[in-house]
Amino acid sequence: MPDQKRVLLKVIVLGDSGVGKTSLMNQYVNKKFREQYKATIGADFVTKELQVDDKHVTLQIWDTAGQERFQSLGAAFYRGADCCVLVYDVNAPKSFETLRKWHEEFLKQADPVDPSTFPFVVIGNKVDVEGEKNRMNNMRKAREWCDSRGNIPCIETSAKENYNVDVAFHCVAKMALTHERAPDEEDMDIEINYSMAGLLDSAVSEADHKEHYREWKCGC
């Protein structure tokens, strides 16, 4: 019987202050949403254990401050990351416009061996907030931006209503597994399923009772 060794994956979450990074993580790990906004100071992390295909995975998810004075956390913070999550507010155009800055900041600090293949996931949060016209326009731009950077998965979520949060982070885990390289990789016979078909089915069924939300489609 194969050894079911748990894989530790480090995930960095970046984005402007107030886009809901902490709320997404709290909803995913603790199934809680806090109405009062409290800015993250510096950086903090939470962990979540899950099963991805036949792998036991521990996600170590690092939350970061979006304020300018806390942006330069240093290369040591980014080192060893297996995936980077870029979060923006679907109703705040400026938070999307700064994704390029966060994308560049991560690549500069993490300095991955091959920047063109390092896994990113983009999350457009706060789809529960009224503002359909702005949201649809921003999501279109986000998908175009992601497509131009190697078809980065782009997912809409609501931390408040727990919409697509589990789906998004499961996608993150799968993307991170494509980057993680265990020393005994050959012995473990790692086979990563890139299709995400099961996740797509779950996302569509969840959207059936949320007709005012745009249908989600994962690109990973």
1 within some domain: no
Q: What is the CATH number of the domain that holds 48?
A: 3.40.50.300
Asked, for residue 143, whether it belongs to a domain, the answer is yes
pLDDT tens per residue across all 220 residues of the chain: 455 688 999 999 999 989 999 999 999 999 976 655 455 545 678 999 999 988 899 999 998 765 444 455 677 888 899 999 999 999 988 999 999 999 999 999 999 999 999 999 999 999 998 766 677 777 888 999 999 999 999 999 999 999 999 999 999 999 999 877 543 433 333 333 333 334 433 443 343 334 334 444 455 5
Residue 109 lies in a domain: yes
State residue 209's pLDDT score.
Answer: 34
Q: Is 66 helix (H, G, I), strand (E, B) or coil?
A: coil
CA distance 82 to 78: 10
pLDDT of residue 47: 92
Kindly state whether residue 214 falls inside one of the protein's structural domains: no
In a domain, 212, yes or no: no
Distance (Å, whole) CA 61 – CA 21: 11
Q: Indicate whether 213 belongs to any domain.
A: no
Tell me the CA distances in angstroms from 10 to 128, 134, 152, 175, 183, one per residue in order. Answer: 29, 33, 18, 11, 16
Q: What pLDDT, on the 0 to 100 scale, is given for residue 138?
A: 79
Q: What is the extent of the structural domain holding 15?
A: 7-207
Residue 101 lies in a domain: yes
Contact 158, 127 (CB under 8 A): yes
Number of domains in the chain: 1
* Predicted pLDDT at 124: 96
Asked, for residue 2, whether it belongs to a domain, the answer is: no
